[in-house]
Amino acid sequence: MENSFNYRTVAQLITHILGGHAYIKLEEVLNDFPYDHIQKKVDKLPYTFYDLFEHMRLAQKDILDYCCSENYKELSWPEDYWPKENGIISKKDYAAKIDQFFEDRSRFNKWLSHNSNKLFSPIQGNQNHNLLREALLLIEHNSYHTGQLVILSRILKI
């Protein structure tokens, strides 16, 4: 019974990590947003479309590393979770970051699938952190910022 519950729970978590049920899939938002506008500033906002996406990528990578790496090194908030430079990012580098985001998301989902029997086991020795918590955190974080990307695209009339 427990294995069946865990399998169904993990399947639902992965469905929501992939998005597209309660909110638009990130893939659609990224595909619809032109590269020429990813670093366009908007009045009274401290970030660009690229900054938000890069923040999502960095945070997701940290969650993946936290769950999967025995050599996890804690990042500093907020410095390590936002892009460091305000320089122009090339189209090639931007595409590589998009690819990395989806590769990391896939790796997390595989890790989740292969560890469905450890949903409630502590991670990194922290009794308050487990795989279920991290999956829910990933869903919440990425859905929140996906919504911000959609709003930013509407503000910029893209």
Q: What is the pLDDT of residues 18-32, one digit of tens each?
A: 998 888 999 999 999
Q: Which amino acid is at 60?
A: Q
Cα dihedral 96, 102, 105, 110, rounded to 10, equals -110
Q: Let me know if 69 is exposed, middle or buried by CB neighbors in 10 A (0-12, 13-18, 19+).
A: exposed
* Residue ranges per structural domain of the chain: 2-155
Residues 6+ apart with CB under 8 A from 148: 52
Q: Give yes or no for residue 5 having a pLDDT over 70.
A: no
- Is 30 in contact with 57 (CB distance < 8 Å)? no
User: Tell me, what's the pLDDT at 39?
Assistant: 95
- Is 98 in contact with 55 (CB distance < 8 Å)? no
User: Tell me, what's the pLDDT at 1?
Assistant: 46
Mean pLDDT, rounded, of the chain: 93
- Is 7 in contact with 117 (CB distance < 8 Å)? no
Q: 2-155: CATH homologous superfamily?
A: dinb family like domain (1.20.120.450)
CB atoms near residue 58 (< 10 Å): 18
Q: Give yes or no for residue 100 having a pLDDT over 60.
A: yes
Question: What's phi and psi for 88, nearest 5 deg?
Answer: -75, 130
DSSP label at 72?
Answer: -
Of 24-38, 100-114, 115-129, the range with the lowest mean pLDDT is: 115-129
Of the ranges 82-91, 94-103, 115-124, the best mean pLDDT one: 94-103
Of the ranges 7-11, 97-101, 112-116, the best mean pLDDT one: 97-101
pTM over 0.85: yes
What is the C-alpha separation between 85 and 66, in angstroms, rounded? 25
Q: What mean pLDDT do residues 119-143 have? A: 95
